[in-house]
Amino acid sequence: MRRAGLVIMLACAPMWAQVEGPLFGYLPDGAHLRPVYGIPASASIGPAANFGRDFANIAVSPHQDFAVVSAADSGAVLLASPAGTISAIAGADSKPDRVLLSPRGSAALLWFSATGRLQIVTGLPNAPTVRTADTSFLSGIPHTLAVSDDGQYAAGAWVEGIWLFGPQGQATPLTLPSRQRAVSLAFFGGRQDLAVATNTRVFSIAGVGAAATPSTLYEGDWMLPVGVGLSADNQHIVIPEGTGKLLVLDLAAGSSAQFDCGCSPEGAYSMGRSVFRFTGLTGAVFKVFDASTGEVFFVPLAAQSAQADQGARR
């Protein structure tokens, strides 16, 4: 995967004002970023924005108001404000291999495989600050990472298990019962509580900086989790599997349900409230899932977008 880091403002939506409907969000599409208009049940995808460069590791804020992306030409980590100004984030290293955002987009996590380091960016988008955590004592690349909204804690799952990195740089292992191994992680929005999916269970770990005692939320058949997503109100946990099956936990009701997205999920990406996407653009559509209703919706390319794509290929 190409390296480099850049935070790009998404205030460029007016250039696609001809696409019908209110702005729903933004869709990473390979090396590009597309606006999506409408509502989940009736949405369409606008033409790719022309930033004059290709992107990788695109991470869109759950509020859909900015994105953290990799820019192959620069490598610098920058913040683009809604006012249209772009400024460097002091202290951020260039060329991160992985970029992700916290549940509400107020913190970001940058992973650097060459040095075995994490950088946590807090105070997004208005007052970013950066600190670094050393993970070089762990083996290889983490297969899942997460950061809390306040940026106090970052967590990752390595071969050695789950490790937590605190505000003073302290590294602490987190142990799951019955030798369970974490496959996917996510923090609850606005909290220092962690949701953990293994191949057979889902746990919550309350107050990771304190006692950090796991409690079981779900136990069932063998799963192949590729992500963990939480609704904005923390009432629904969505766990997509590589097979297309979706496990949805309703924490208020204490119930679980399973759905099929008819897709091959790559992760769980919030598009606000209880709506998630699991892939980028596949052919001329992508799908969104509303965890509060259990509905899957197709989102197609708008006619203008399809025509623009055909013109670009000629």
Higher pLDDT, 238 or 90: 238
Q: What percent of the chain has pLDDT over 90?
A: 65
Spell out the domains of the chain, with CATH numbers in brackets: 6-313 (2.130.10.10)
pLDDT of residue 67: 83
Alpha-carbon span 263 to 6, nearest angstrom: 29
pLDDT in tens, 278-288: 998 988 999 99
pLDDT bucket at 313, cuts 50 / 70 / 90: very low
Structure tokens given for 190? 């606005």
Q: How would you write 136-204 as a 3-class SS string?
A: CCCCCCCCEEEECCCCCCEEEEECCEEEEECCCCCEEEECCHHHCCCCEEEECCCCCCEEEECCCEEEE
Look up residue 141 and give its two tokens.
């690349």
User: Mean pLDDT across the stretch 190-216?
Assistant: 93
Q: Which token pair is 36?
A: 């999506």
Residue 181 confidence (pLDDT) above 90: yes
Q: Is the pLDDT of residue 11 over 90?
A: no
Query: Band of the pLDDT at 31, cuts 50, 70, 90?
Result: confident
pLDDT of 7 > 60? The answer is no
Which tens digit of pLDDT belongs to each residue from 68-85?
A: 877 778 878 776 454 445
Q: Are 171 and 165 in contact (CB under 8 A)?
A: yes
In angstroms, the Cα distances linking 292 to 47, 251, 273 are: 29, 11, 9
Per-residue model confidence (pLDDT) at position 304: 58
Provide the whole-model pTM. 0.88
Closest to 235 in 3D by CA, of 183, 200, 190:
190
What confidence tens digit (pLDDT) does each residue in 136-169 have? 999 999 999 999 999 999 999 999 999 999 999 8
**pLDDT higher than threshold 50 for residue 294:** yes
Instruction: Tell me how far apart the alpha carbons of residues 52 and 95 are, in angstroms, rounded to a whole number.
Output: 19
What pairs with residue 122 in β-bridges?
129
Which 3 state secondary structure label does DSSP give 70?
A: strand
